[in-house]
Structures are given as structure tokens and as C-alpha cells.
Chain A
Amino acid sequence: MQYILNYFCTSSAALLSEQWFARALPSRATVVMAHDNAAADSSQQVWKKALWKRRSNNLHKLPDNHTSSRFLEDLVLNANAVPRDVVTVMCDAQVVVHQLSLTGLFAATHAHLRSNLVSGRTILFISTLLLVAATTACFLLDPAYANAFTVRRALFALQQAFLVTAGCFFIAPVLSTLTRNISSDTVHAWSVALLVAHLYLHDYFFVVSATNKLTGGLSLGAAVLASALLASRLDSPHVDAFAQVVLSMEVFVLSPYVRRALKRGLSRIAHTGVTVALVLLCAAAIAPLSASLAGASVGVCAFVGVLCPLWLVRVQKFKTEIQGPWDEAQLLLEGCT
């Protein structure tokens, strides 16, 4: 008991927040204890796990709570645990930072559109530039795009782009009356909640498409709904709402694929540079609204991109995967028909 107590006093003082990962700590303490306990019976080599031996006939008359030195000797810890490397974890975390800063950028654009700091036409112009730049980057960086290129596919992509853009264009006037009867506070609160849901549910490491998993689809739906809600608060010219929706399509629908291409094609340093640029761009976009908010956005990105990976690698030493003879056996059926 003393061991467990000591273990907990030291650990809970130092690592209070890491206790989630330290779930199995006491078991380690008991293992230590069992071995201390066992020093006494090192001479009794005869003991083995045998229930058929009647204790009364036993030479040593060991009590039933006897704990021998062989107690837990078949315990295997962390047989399948893969050690994590801090650089790799940080590189992987950049995907999350990208999504965070792009979402921040999107929200900031909406604020500027509302306050007429930028016009809808400017946003449309930037969006077109971005689309062209992103397509070029994809083809240059990820050979998968170039390999899969056919005229037919390109025409199909253009058709899709046209349909989506036209849809957004014709729906923009409808959007302006969508939330007329709802207060701005409600709409903004909902938008924030939806964007948080988007960030939480987003499939950061998708293989085929970002919406292959149910959560990925929900995440995209939440983001699009948030952008529709926000666009509905832009009442002046319809072009603002149209620009906002087009931008949201680029940020939430297309950007994951572009960023995947960037991650594949760029070196780690160049990729980190892109991430830093994106974080700074986000901060710069937020700065006119509130300097402290801009600082906070950089802080959040630093927390996610640097502190969290360090933390994750640090708590790896508390990982205790327990395996032993008590585990349910796995069916081995190779070669069986």
C-alpha cells in the first residue's frame, strides 16, 4: 500500500494533468511490491502454479495468499507499443494547424466583408487566383495528379466547378433572407459551434477522400452550414454572399486535397514554412479586428503544433499495455478451409 501511496503522491503532484495516461500506474507499483515480497521465498524453488496439490500435504504449508517470486512472471508490458518520435508527431500535427488557421481566416474574411473592409469582388478575385495556384501546385507536387490526368477528367472537373459556382451564384440572393427572423447573436453562436464541430470531426488523415468516413462527411456538412449561416448575415450586395460561399467551398472542400499534395511534395522544412506562413496570414487577417484575438490565434496554433506533440511524446512513458496468460486466446485459422 505504501508503494501505491508514494507513487501517487509523487506522480499526482508532478503530473496531475497527465493522469489520464497513467491509468495503469498502480499496477506497476503492485508488480514492484510483489517482487519485494517474493525475496522471502527465493529458497522455495518448488512452488509452481498447481491447484491440484493439497495444501495440507504441501511440504511448506504455504498459506493460500502466498505470493511467490514467480507471481506475474508472465506479465508482458507494451509488447505492441510503438515509440513516437517528436519530429514526426510535430509534422503530422501541422495538418491540424492548417485546418485551424484556415478556419480562422475564413471567419476573419466574413468579419471584413461585413464591415466592408474588403469587397466581395476582391474576395472573388483572390479565390480565383488561389484556385489556379492550388491546381498548379497539385500538379507540380503530387505526381498522382499528373498521372491521373485525362482530358475527360479535366472536363468533368470543370463541369463540376461550373455547377457548384453557378449554384452558389443563384442561391446567394436566397441566402440573404435566410436568417432574417433570427438574431445575429444566435447565428454567430451557431456558426462558432458548427466550426468547432467541423474542426473536431474533420478527417485529418484521410486516404481516399475527406468525406469517406461518416465523421468526415458530418464535418464538411457542419462547415458548409456555418458558411451559409454567415453568408446570410451579409445583407448588402449579393456578390458578398456569393464570394463568401465560394471561398468556403475552396477552404473546406478543396483545400484538404491541396494540403495533402503539399505535404507529399514539399520537404519537411518547406512544409513547416507553409504552415508558419498560414498561421501568420491568419493572424494578420484577424489583427484589424482585435490584436489580442490575433495573438490568441497564434497561441492556439503554437499549442496544437508544438506543445501538444511534445506533451504526447512525454506521456508515452506512462503507456502500460498489459498482456499475460489471462488474455483471451486469438483464433489461429491460417490454412483452414
Chain B
Amino acid sequence: MTELKGGALLEARQVVVRFGGLEAVGGLDMAVARGAIHGLIGPNGAGKTTVLNVLTGFIRPTAGRLVFDGEEIGGLNVNGFARRGLARTFQNIRLFGAMTVLESVLVGAHQRFSASAPALIFGGRAARTAERAMIARAHELLDFVGLRHDIADRVATTLSYGHQRRVEIARALMSSPKLLLLDEPLAGMNAVEKQEIAELVRQVRAQGIAVLLIEHDMQIVRSLCDHLTVLEYGKLLADGAPERVLSDPAVQAAYLGRAR
């Protein structure tokens, strides 16, 4: 597993995360292929969200390297990760309160704006054109995630949970990422909503964007993911195709425990 072929979009090599004396992630190697839907699974407390936080720059690993699209990204700030093309959503949806759907989604395009303060104040033509283009793009993406246009001016946090999840995904897509990282995108949804979001994830992949997701519903994971990485105690337990990984006795034991 340490040797990786050049095809990987994102590679983590020997990543270690320690909190005080506790080792949350221990020497993890993993690779997300271009165009893949990659599942990151494991029992509670296995370190999945920690790994996702490492992969998005939220946690700087104690040791190890991160290579994204051929570039070393380990030393960047969180916004640097976003600027390189890693966009994420959060386990507990984190939309900006008091912002409308359109405004929230536009924040995702932050790096595409460049007008200076005088240009903004005195109304530069370029500034206006950029704003218009991004608003148009935001509407396209709202369409893409399955939200109706009349929702654009509603305050995002007043929407239903499922809609908020979609707004969050649209916001992440607004930065035109190469990799979308979703932390439990299906949590708290009913079976129908889960299938809808799963379908949306497939459409994202169809746009050429790779997806890494944490999910607990194995039924969905089985049908949605091309590749699974299983963690236990912060270490790699299994890695490979879903059917093979999920029937692995070690993986089953990680979830269900072992009979004594």
C-alpha cells in the first residue's frame, strides 16, 4: 500500500495524528483515485473524521505527507487546501447563519473574486461582471443539486435539513473542486432522501469530480462506493472493493465485536 501509482488524485502517506499522548491516527496510508467515489468507514471513534480533517487541512498531522494532484500540500492553511481544489461539507451542517442560500453558495466561490476595494466602492465594470458570472454559476449549481430557484433568497438555515445539505454541497462545488469530501452526508435522512443524495453524489462524479465520503449506512456504501478504506483504532484495517471489504471477517468484527 505504501507504493502508490501516479494515478491517485490524493495520497496520504504514513499519516500520524497525536492528541497529547493519544494516537488518533497511526501511520495511515491511503489514496483516492481520480474520478472515484471513495468510502471512509469504520466503527465509532475509529478516527474517520480526524482523517477527513487532516485531508482538508483542519488538523495538521504530527507526521506524514499529503500529496494532492502531484503537489505536496501538507504545509498549507485550510484555505490553501480549498484553493488547491479540496472542498468539504461538515458532519453537522455548517451553513452561515443569517445568509441567504445564494449568498452562502457564493462564499464557495470566494477565490474567484479579485476586485479591489476602490473598484467595489466606485463600481468597477469588471467587479460587476465577475459578480454576475458567479451568481449565474450559483444558480446553475442550485439547479444541479436539485434546489428550486425560488429558494435562493431564503435564509439558508431556515430550510429543511435535506435542503440545507444540498446547499452545503452546492457551496462546496462552487469552488470547482477536484475532490469533494463529504462527512456523513446522509446522516439524519430518511431512506428516500438518502437515495436522492446518493444519486447526487453519482452526478458529481459524472462531472469528473472525485468524492471521498464518510458514511455509516452500509447499504448505501455498498451500492455507491467504488472503493472503501476501513479504519479501526486510527489504523488501516482494510482497503479495496466494497463487496470484498464488507465481507471481510475482520471488518465485521470491528463493527459487531467478537464473541468471546
* A in complex with B: no
